[in-house]
Amino acid sequence: MPYSRPGVYVEERALPNVVAYGTRVAVANFIGVSDRGPTTPERFDSWGTFVNNFGGFTNSELHHAVYHYFANGGRVAHVTRVVGSGALASTVAIPGSYGALTASTGAANLLTISAQNPGVWGNSVTVSLTQLLAATGTFDLTVYYQNNQVEVFRSLSVKATDPRYVESVVNSASQGSAYISASVLAAAKTMLAGGGDAKFNALTGAPLAAGAAGSAPADGDWTTAINAQSSVEGPFLLNLAGMTTLANVNTALNYAAQRLDTFVIIDADAASSAAKNIGTIPQYTKLSFGAVYYPRVVMNDPSSTSQGGTRISQPSGAIMGIYVTTDATRGVFKAPAGVSAVVGGALALEHRPTNAEMGSLNDSHINCLKSDLNVNGITVWGARTLKMDTLDGYIPVRRSLIYLKQALEDACAFAVFEPNDARLWDQVQNRANKILTDFWNAGGLKGLSAKQAFYATCDASNNTDTTISAGEVHLEVGVALQVPAEFVIIQIGLWAGGTVTNELL
């Protein structure tokens, strides 16, 4: 491939007798429809912080997916709301006056307060302003949502030079408002920059208005939301909550394959028929960067007003939590499946596949959920990607590949712009050996010795005068990745007095 931007480049190559694969611990990224919430990826480390920005439970699949992710061991999630055309944020103009310090003149709007994001929800926001000191134009700003006080920002100013400048404080990504954003109008900015002052009239309970939900999101809106994940550093798991349309799922799969550090958890078709989902699978792009899970599950419904309420939900949020938990406790080389992969909060399956259906689903690379309530509960009982008949048809193989690529890229970043000679090659090779040895010791690679498990070459054999002149350093890595045991075969026979009778189970 051509190289133009200075940096570290990781390539996947077919190597003799060894398969090169890898991965890195991931967080979850959710995209979905909601009445409220940011339309670009926002980071949350708990269900509570998510609710602060997206509101409490609605009937959206997104809320339930995020809830069950955290309930199943999820730690960090980025969430993006997808909206359709015509979606508008509620606003209100804040009146006042500004002018020369000696004589304030010119009644006008000084400030626009807008809801943080589009939707009718913003029409339930009101704000109050209290003037503190007329000479400096400082004021307190109180925010109400659904008639409840939710935020207070004190000693704000409309002057950009003030440390409590309203735009800097209210719009701060870390300490700002979860409900509104503030913008000083251009004319006021010009006057204030020239030394003017500003005054506000007392304003109580000014409602934001004209918020609109817009139309139902179209495929292009989902594509926009998927591409917005480019602002998030990988690796990550990606789920389109409740979205099963082939065009959008394939867009997500192609995006993941282009990034090389993303793995898509796909919601199966909502129909309970195993045969219908098997028929759908051939239409997905055959990539190892995604996996489908079936069927939907009957979950505890924390949004229910009745005790013991339940809801049929897609399992993807809970499964992403299981991925993260498995990564932390075992490593990415362990399939997020088996008797330990229990779906917390699941009470039953919408449709309990027969043994024959489970076989057909697995052959079609659809990962089943298994119901064994007397022993383990609802467990994940599949570990296949959408790519068939290749080693990366297994989830832990593809995700190990993602992990090792990212780890090697991070380890080799120091080499950019260093003198390109044998001393640099030794450092690169030593760092690669350290990463691969640690991965092997943890159980991520086959082999009774490190020599059997991997190799890393960065020396004169693959760094020639030609590559040096081109500004390139070449590191070649081969790894023998672990493949999960899908089928445990037990052969048993009757033994009595030296006579063996075989019995098939």
| Rg of the chain in Å (alpha carbons) | 28
pLDDT in tens, 81-129: 999 999 999 999 988 776 543 344 455 778 899 999 999 999 999 999 8
Q: How far, in Å, CA of 321 to CA of 68, rounded?
A: 8
pLDDT in tens, 440-461: 999 999 999 999 999 999 999 9
Confidence of residue 498 (pLDDT cuts 50, 70, 90): low
Confidence of residue 246 (pLDDT cuts 50, 70, 90): very high
Q: Residues with Cβ < 8 Å from 420, sequence gap 6 or more? A: 463, 468, 471, 473
Q: How far, in Å, CA of 172 to CA of 144, rounded?
A: 19
- Alpha helix segments (H runs only) across 57-107: 61-71
pLDDT(190) > 90: no
pLDDT in tens, 377-396: 899 999 999 998 888 999 99
Q: What is the percent of the chain where pLDDT is above 90?
A: 70
* Range scoring the smallest mean pLDDT among 13-22, 241-250, 368-377: 13-22
pLDDT(76) > 50: yes
Q: How far, in Å, CA of 434 to CA of 89, rounded?
A: 51
Q: For position 133, what pLDDT does the model report?
A: 62
Helix (H) or strand (E) holding 441: helix 422-441
Q: How far, in Å, CA of 26 to CA of 14, rounded?
A: 25
Taking alpha carbons only, the member of 247, 252, 196, 257 closest to residue 218 is 247
What's the rounded mean pLDDT across residues 3-26? 52
* Range scoring the smallest mean pLDDT among 146-150, 153-157, 179-183, 189-193: 189-193
Higher pLDDT, 372 or 478: 478
Is-contact 399 407, C-beta < 8 A? no
Domain map (residue ranges) of the chain: 27-83+216-393, 91-207
Is there a shared CATH topology between the 27-83+216-393 domain and the 91-207 domain?
no
pLDDT(203) > 90: no
What's the rounded mean pLDDT across residues 319-332? 95
What's the rounded mean pLDDT across residues 262-286? 86
- What distances in angstroms separate CA 374 from CA 347, 348, 377, 409, one per listed residue? 12, 12, 7, 46
Q: Residues with Cβ < 8 Å from 43, sequence gap 6 or more? A: 76, 77, 78
Q: Measure the CA angle with vertex 424, ends 423 and 427; round to 5°.
A: 95
What's the rounded mean pLDDT across residues 143-150? 96
Is-contact 347 300, C-beta < 8 A? yes
Q: For position 206, what pLDDT does the model report?
A: 93
Q: For position 60, what pLDDT does the model report?
A: 86
Confidence of residue 501 (pLDDT cuts 50, 70, 90): low
Query: 184: how many CB neighbours lie within 10 A of its CB?
Result: 20
pLDDT in tens, 407-439: 999 999 999 999 999 999 999 999 999 999 999
Q: For position 4, what pLDDT does the model report?
A: 60
Q: Which residue has the tokens 């602002």?
A: 231
pLDDT in tens, 160-169: 888 999 999 9
Confidence of residue 303 (pLDDT cuts 50, 70, 90): confident
Q: Which CATH number fits domain 27-83+216-393: 3.40.50.11780, 3.30.1490.440, 3.40.50.1000, 3.40.50.2300?
A: 3.40.50.11780
What's the rounded mean pLDDT across residues 133-150? 84
Q: Measure the CA angle with vertex 243, ends 62 and 314; round to 5°.
A: 60
Beta pairing class for 290-294 and 366-372? parallel
Taking alpha carbons only, the member of 397, 379, 369 closest to residue 289 is 397
What's the rounded mean pLDDT across residues 356-361? 92
- Asked: is 91-207 a CATH 2.60.40.4290 domain? The reply is yes
Residues pairing with 500 in the sheet? 495
pTM of the full structure:
0.88
Q: How far, in Å, CA of 395 to CA of 314, rounded?
A: 19
Confidence of residue 497 (pLDDT cuts 50, 70, 90): low
Q: For position 503, what pLDDT does the model report?
A: 53
Q: What is the DSSP string of 292-311?
A: EEE--EEEE-TT-SSTT-EE
Is-contact 70 100, C-beta < 8 A? no
Higher pLDDT, 306 or 215: 215
Q: How far, in Å, CA of 75 to CA of 328, rounded?
A: 10
Helix (H) or strand (E) holding 468: helix 465-469
pLDDT in tens, 43-54: 999 999 999 999
pLDDT(359) > 60: yes
Amino acid at 434: K
